[in-house]
Structure 1
Amino acid sequence: MTAEDPTKAWEDLTLDRQRAVVETLATVTPLPGRPGRSPFDPRSVRIEPLQGMG
């Protein structure tokens, strides 16, 4: 499946569909963050492509 505008295609998916796509492509692991209500830090998430995906 292809899309002329992949960003729009992604944004048009329901959250359940977006989650299914991510689960198909990678393992996402939240890492321990700093205590308190800190802004989101992308370094606090490990994303590893599944076999054959990267």
Structure 2
Amino acid sequence: MILGCLITTLVLVFVLFILIMVGIDITLALSFKIFAPVILIFTGIYFLLKSRK
């Protein structure tokens, strides 16, 4: 009985861990897709202004 509870708890923790990792991966991918162009644009503007001076 105790062993069954322990296994169930371990499985639940494992599943939660996988879900959290996948969620973090998706969040990072989305934020990267959103922020990468913005960062590229800002670096482009920065270099243009720097080269102009």
The answer to whether TM tops 0.5 is no
Bigger Rg, structure 1 or 2: 2
Higher share in strand: 1
Higher share in helix: 2
Structure number with greater CO (CA < 8 Å, separation at least 6) is 1
